[in-house]
Structure 1
């Protein structure tokens, strides 16, 4: 190749076959990894699920270390986040903070993603039916 010439002009590869040039945007062009993942998630409708998963992974960063020590997000369905607390005291505390928590979660996930936070406390097991008992 001569100095100053443009590669690929008028030249063929060894073997005599011309080099195929792909059209831009036809899927064969390299993309940044983050952009490719974002495009895949958008095309499959996984963006919200991934964002909610990020909240589950960063629970302590959202609610604070002390509250995260006693609570954990359990599931997210139809705009309702269910959070489990390890005691009735912490369940009550979280219920008092639920409107603030909804606002904070929507800042992270996008407006209207979380409509309600449902707090569940520890279960004491099934109650026995029948007469009152004293011990």
Structure 2
């Protein structure tokens, strides 16, 4: 006669047999992201999605991407320790205007909305770009620089449409309530 088993033990064995225990441990670790990376970093970076052995993390700004890149190894070690195995081999960061409120599994359906139309540039803005490129004699380079500058202007306009402001100290765009960005506010 078999010994009685708890429902939790039976469920655990079933998850292992189905190969879902690893996914569950991963999901739990990502749901407790603030405990893994710390409350301070959880305010500026949140898990976005899992792609094979890579975790994609949404980050508030390019400055934070650079900072977190230095901490990749530590984040990976803490995350894998929380999971109980080496689940992730890579962490990649991407800047998002709005951080996700909670981790969203890859299987979860995401409502796809088309991106908004890029805002039009004024004639004065286009003329300023052309003036910036007057000293560039190579036509291929001039065209590439023109496309890059126009794309940057459109991106900045999109940020402004979303309520982001340009920090008067460093020139980075931020979505916070203060006049200066988080890094400048902290004296960084």
Normalised TM-score (structure 1): 0.67
Cα displacement (A) at 1:44: 0.8
Does the alignment pair 1:98 with 2:72?
Answer: yes
Matches within 5 A, 1:22-61: 23-24=1-2, 30-61=4-35
2-side partners of 1:77 and 1:87: how far apart? 22
2:55 corresponds to which of 59, 74, 81 = 81
C-alpha RMSD of the superposition: 2.7
In structure 1, the residue matched to 2:84 is: 110
SS in 2 for 1:114: coil
SS in 2 for 1:84: strand
Structure with greater proportional helix content: 2
SS in 1 for 2:96: coil
Normalised TM-score (structure 2): 0.50
Q: How many residues align?
A: 107
1-side partners of 2:51 and 2:61: how far apart? 23
SS in 1 for 2:92: strand
